Every structure is written in C-alpha cells, then in structure tokens.
Structure 1
Amino acid sequence: MAQAPTAQRDTNPAGSVDLSLDAAQLTAALVDFPSVSGAEKPLADAIERALRELPRLTVDRYGENVVARTHFGRDTRIVLAGHIDTVPIADNVPSRVCGDLIYGCGTSDMKSGVAVQLRLAAAAGAAASPQSAHDLTFVFYDCEEIESARNGLGHVARAHPDWLVGDFGVLLEPTDAVLEGGCQGTLRARVTVAGQRAHSARSWLGSNAIHRAAPILNRLAEYRPREVEVEGLLYREGLNAVGISGGVAGNVIPDECAVVVNFRFAPDRTEEQAAQHVRAVFEGFDVRIVDSAPAARPGLEQPEAARFAARFDVPPRAKYGWTDVARLAALGVPSVNYGPGDPNLAHTRDEHASITKIHETERMLAEWLGLK
C-alpha cells in the first residue's frame, strides 16, 4: 500500500466496496465500514452490489448474508466463508496504517480475511479472468460474534442448504497465516444458588445467596482443565466464570446468585458430553445450559484437506476458539481455518493485521485455486 507511515481514514458507513483495491487497502476500507453484530446491513448491501457486477458469479441474499457461486462445471467445489460482523468498536475506527500494520476494529477478526475473500471472488467472477481449477462458493454472513442462535451461516444452512454444498471449505478466520484444524466447542451455563431474602439490618433472618455461591467459585479455582490430542493436534480445554449476578437492593439480603460459566471443550467431546461434564463439576447446584455449539475434529486426513495442508511449511495446529468449521462440517463440508489475522489480537482495543500476511494469504489461496 502506498501509505504514509501513519495514516488515518474516514469511516464509510453507507458507501461502496471497491474490489479493485488490493487486499490490504480493501481491509482498511472494510474496517472503515462499521458492522457491529446486528448492524451489518449496509456492509452486506455493499458486498452484494459489488459481487453482482461480476458476470461469472451467481449471487443470492438471505437476510444480511450474501452467497456468490461460480458454475464452471468443475468436479470439486470449494467453499470460502467469513463473517462480516465485529465486536463493538472500542475507539478503534477509523483504521490507521503504521508500517506493515493496519489497526482498527475487525482488522484481525476478520475483515482482513473478508478482504481476501472479496479479492478472490473478484478474480473468479471477472469475465476476462482464467477459470478456477474448482467451482467456488463465497459466503459472507452476519452475527458470528454473538449467540449461536443468531449466526447468519446457521440461518443460511437451515433455509438454503443447497447454497452451501461443497467438497471442502476454508474459513478465513484469523490464524496468523498458519493452517489451523478443527475448533473447540463452546458451552455457556448458568449455575444458580438460592437464598432467602431479609432486611440487611436483620440478616440472621435470611440466607445470603451471594455468600452461598462461594463454593461455585472455589470449584472453578481448583479446576484443572484437560489437554488432549485429537488427530495429532493438541487441544486445551478451559472452564471459567464469565459473569456473576445477584443482589436486590442496598438493604436486602439477596435470595439468588447466578454465575455464568463458559466451557471450551476439545473435539473428542460431543455437546451432550460437555454438558454432562459441567453438570458433574457443579453437582449440587442448579445448572442450566444457556448456549452451546459443537466442536469440530481437524479432518486433515480428508483428500482435499491433505492436499491443501501440503502447501504449508509449518505444521498445522489446533484452533483455540469456536469457529464455523463446526457448522460446515455438520453440513458435510470438511473445512479448515486459514486467514491473515492474528487470533491473539481478536477483540482487543489494539487490534491490527499484517499487510504482508494479508497479501501472503491471498497469494496462497489464489495459487491453490488456480486463480493466478
């Protein structure tokens, strides 16, 4: 990118997506197009308009989800998917460029990956471009960063599963340009303890639910998570409190306290096994599962996955975190995670992405797909 060492941009809340920009410039433009979960419509509109200009793509829309497909008559179809939403902005929009780094909300998770997708779609869909070695499906979906029930890829899978048919998939989630297999499952549970209300001046007449929640926190502090190898990749589990609530008023002994826990589990467990484990850890307490999404096994022994993995000099590693490779796997599309962003920077105020790795990811995928 021809940028000064440090450059600031204006936001682009109702503009267009210019597919002639290179992948790094396009990343910056997408960051300047705010799309916090639930507010993705302007960006989805712009992506749809840009893709409909490409003569060799069929473009479909469902809600704020856009799916574009080639129809070259190839024997294999590759699905490339990415979410267009971000976590809430933390004074990190508009984007800025400093040397090799682009800073801003979503640079890592995952507008750099979406920019690469759009560049590949532009290459595949242009009339004068060479046809890909595979047929391609590009999926841009909403609401990945919030509860599973609102996930746009899930909505498309239920309403139009035929749009997502494929032999292999690449989810361009942040992996720092390293191949990552599978993903952890995620489960949230509400662990509740009851008490008895009383006036705080006569506390002995009641039972303080917040005090009675101490054993829940003790069990979490003493918990030792597993490390388990699945198909050659090492997954680490985690069980943590992510919220606590209780209290009625400043002069009332509370009669309920709830601790919300998040269990990140390895892909050798099913969702039900994960739920059973959480209930066992908190035996004696009221445990209610409030959200759950399955893990995905690496699946790197699949032929297309193995061919893709062979292109990397660095061995694949396990994906820490939940991604939609699990949803694609459930649809019969074995998939991997591969994107330019650094997963350790996702959701941070200082989020940024490497321009070098953005271009590296685009080049790797374009060569594999036969778009260069």
Structure 2
Amino acid sequence: MESAPEIPGTAPREDPVPDPDPDPVPVLDLSLDGASLTARLVDIPSVSGDEKPLADAIETALRALPHLRVDRYGNNVVARTALGRAERVVLAGHIDTVPIADNVPSRLEDGVLWGCGTSDMKAGVAVQLRIAATVPEPNRDLTFVFYDNEEVAAHLNGLGHLADDRPDWLAGDFAVLLEPSEGQVEGGCQGTLRVGLRMAGQRAHSARSWKGANAIHAAAPVLARLAAYEPRRPVVDGLEFREGLNAVGITGGVAGNVIPDECTVTVNYRYAPDLTEQEALAHVREVFADCGVARFEVEDSSGPARPGLTHPAAAAFVEAVGGEARPKYGWTDVSRFSALGVPAVNYGPGDPNLAHKRDERVDTDLIGHCEERLRAWLTA
C-alpha cells in the first residue's frame, strides 16, 4: 500500500501536557492511511444512540485543520471549506453502527479488516476524514457531514435533524454518500413502505370453532396475493430497479384453545424511484383491496430518490471514479439530499452484502481505491 499523503500544516508542536481527563476524547490521527484510520474508528464503539465519543473525536480532529470551518449540532459534525469555488460538493456519512456482535475490536488479516461497522460505514467515514485532512484546496468547495442515528428509526436520523433545523449546512450542488457500494457508483435509492394489514375475526373456544371466525385463516388471501405478486423492474434514468412486495412479519393467536379474533400481516414494499410515497401507498392499497383487510395501518414510509446521473457534477463524478453506475437496492439518505434539491449518489468502499453481519469486513485495498478516486476528482 502506498504511503498516505502528508497533511498540510501539521508540523510537530511542543504543547504543555494537559491534566488527566476522567473522560478523555479518543484521539484520531488523520495522517494514518485509510485502512488504519478505519480500524481506529471501529475501535471507538458508536452504536446508535451512543455516538458522542466518536463525534467528539471527529470534531477535535477536524478543528485542528485550519482550512475548515467546523460546526456541531448534537452528535452531528459538519466541516466546510470556503474557497469561493463555482460548485460545492457534500461528502456525507453516518457514524453509528448496529449493536456490536462480539466483533470489536477490529482485526486485520491478509488485507481484510474485520469488525462492527467496517463496511457500514466506517471505511467510508475514514475516506471522508482523509479527504478533509489531505485536500486543503479542492477544485470544488467541500462540505463534510458526519451524522448520528442512521441505523434506527427515521425520526432519530441526524441528517434529518440537520435538514430540518440547519438546512443551510447541507447546501450544495452535488452530494456523495459514502454508503457501502463496493467502490461503484450507485444511483438514487428505493423507497420503502411498511404497512400492517389487520384481519378481524371472532373469538370462540377451539372445541366449538364454528361459533367463531378465525382471523389467522382470514389472512390467507393476503398471503396468496403476496405469493402471486409479480414485482416491477422499471428503468429509471437508465438504471433498472427491482421492486419487492413481501410479508416481513405476522402476529396472531390468543391461546392454544382459543380461535383468534385478530391477525396482522406486516408487509414491506420496496419500490423504484419513479413512484412517489403517495403513489406507492395507493398501489399497496389496490393490491389488497379485495382481501378482507379490516384495518390498513402505515407503520413506516421513506421516499425514494432518482439517480440524478444526468447532472453535470454527477456525470463528471462517474467518469472520474470509473466503472458502470448501478441502481441502489435499498433506502439511503440520498433521499434526504434529493428532497433538499441536491443530486446525490452512493459511493463507498464497503460491501453492502456484509453490512450488519457478525462477520462484517472490508477489503483494505478498496478503502485506498475510493480515497484515491475521490482525491483525483477533487484535484484534477
């Protein structure tokens, strides 16, 4: 692996030794190469809701860079250049992880770094930090966003809080979300809709079942409709998206001798970005319109984002990093940028198929590759 570029203005200083701190801020050395920095990030646990130590470390490291203005809102850290360039690009990534599964601290074996968050998405965050430290005069102004609570309920999402309360901090002409994409550009994202389909019945003793109505049996038309459903594969802005409508949960039953009077089938619709949230909801209602659903409850809804690859900045980015753009299967925060009017793509070193797994890992060569491609784009 090539040695990491030097960080401008980081000559050694003889600072006084501070008094011991009962809760010292973890130290991030941004002169480390991307793989080593990823390992350090992984070794600072940051499960959703407990991101403060890592946010403190990121803020402290960035404030040492004189070419950046650094702001903080909760456990969200935003750093910006102010060079008067014609365009501004946002590089964004979440700093939280799913719960640790006996996979911290990290370990490096044969060019593969193992540990919670390596793929999703501390490798991407390491790339952000490396670019922030080593590209002081980019050809576009840069905004670096490090946000919390991406892996949990949407109302907790730090990027959403910034979009609501500090939208000017997210202003830009183009955004790159460093979500895991195996070093390939992934355009847009799917929308996701989760609904509960409640089936009603009538309780009775199971020895006299004819006296009641079995709500679990009443769910059969819903399950049959799902089994026969043929999902769309629409092409949106040149990328083929694959939809899915699936049962992801079912609850029902009272006791071993009771005919149940209620059963709920939870259904998740992953849909292409040619539909709005309202159109997706109308479609799901239509699919189950004649299935005897007693109550239709929306449990969660997040809209999609179109690929936006025709935007000049996006086209230049795809050309600079190489490869063939592909669609993003799943929902990501490119949707939030899209809602703000900022075209965005997913591009990061992790493998999305390894996200959240006990054996989560990342190829260290991909970390360096993504960093170098981004640096080339921002300095050409």
TM norm structure 2: 0.89
Q: CA deviation at 1:345?
A: 1.4
For residues 212 and 13 of structure 1, do their structure 2 counterparts lie closer, same or farther at Cα, with a shift above 3 Å needed? farther
Aligned to 2:348: 339
Aligned to 1:127: none
Q: Specify which of 334, 337, 340 is matched with residue 328 of structure 1.
A: 337
Aligned to 1:168: 174
What CA distance in whole angstroms lies between the structure 2 residues aligned with 1:266 and 1:183? 8
Aligned to 2:44: 33
Matched, 1:23 2:34: yes
Q: Specify which of 224, 236, 239 is matched with residue 233 of structure 1.
A: 239
What CA distance in whole angstroms lies between the structure 1 residues aligned with 2:87 and 2:259? 64
8 Å CA contact 1:184–1:320 kept in 2: the answer is yes
Aligned to 2:214: 208
- Cα deviation, 1:311-368, whole Å, max 9, x if unaligned, reads 2442111111111111101111111111000112112222111100000000111111
Aligned to 2:358: 349
8 Å CA contact 1:79–1:169 kept in 2: the answer is yes
- Residue type matched to 1:269 in 2? L
- Cα deviation, 1:22-56, whole Å, max 9, x if unaligned, reads 11011111112222222222211221122122222
Aligned to 1:102: 113
For residues 308 and 56 of structure 1, do their structure 2 counterparts lie closer, same or farther at Cα, with a shift above 3 Å needed? same
Aligned to 1:276: 282
Where does structure 2 lack aligned partners over 5 or more consecutive residues? 3-22
Aligned to 1:143: 149
For residues 295 and 13 of structure 1, do their structure 2 counterparts lie closer, same or farther at Cα, with a shift above 3 Å needed? farther
8 Å CA contact 2:25–2:56 kept in 1: the answer is no
Matched, 1:80 2:86: no
SS at match of 1:311: helix
Q: CA deviation at 1:247?
A: 2.5
Aligned to 2:53: 42
Q: Specify which of 308, 311, 315 is matched with residue 299 of structure 1.
A: 308
Aligned to 1:7: none
Aligned to 1:224: 230
- Residue type matched to 1:16 in 2? V
Aligned to 1:261: 267
Aligned to 2:77: 66
What CA distance in whole angstroms lies between the structure 1 residues aligned with 2:61 and 2:210? 67
SS at match of 2:210: helix
What CA distance in whole angstroms lies between the structure 2 residues aligned with 1:145 and 1:134? 30
- Residue type matched to 2:76 in 1? N
Q: Specify which of 169, 186, 195 is matched with residue 180 of structure 1.
A: 186
8 Å CA contact 2:231–2:244 kept in 1: the answer is yes
RMSD of the alignment, in Å?
1.9
Matched, 1:122 2:133: yes
What CA distance in whole angstroms lies between the structure 2 residues aligned with 1:105 and 1:156? 26
8 Å CA contact 2:247–2:268 kept in 1: the answer is yes
Matched, 1:362 2:368: no
- Cα deviation, 1:217-246, whole Å, max 9, x if unaligned, reads 221111111111111111000111112222
TM norm structure 1: 0.91
Matched, 1:54 2:80: no
Aligned to 2:163: 157
| 230-239 or 196-205, larger mean C-alpha shift | 196-205
What CA distance in whole angstroms lies between the structure 2 residues aligned with 1:52 and 1:200? 68
Aligned to 1:290: 299
What CA distance in whole angstroms lies between the structure 1 residues aligned with 2:261 and 2:176? 49
Question: Percent identity over the alignment?
Answer: 65
Where does structure 1 lack aligned partners over 5 or more consecutive residues? 3-11, 125-129
8 Å CA contact 2:252–2:264 kept in 1: the answer is yes
Aligned to 1:9: none
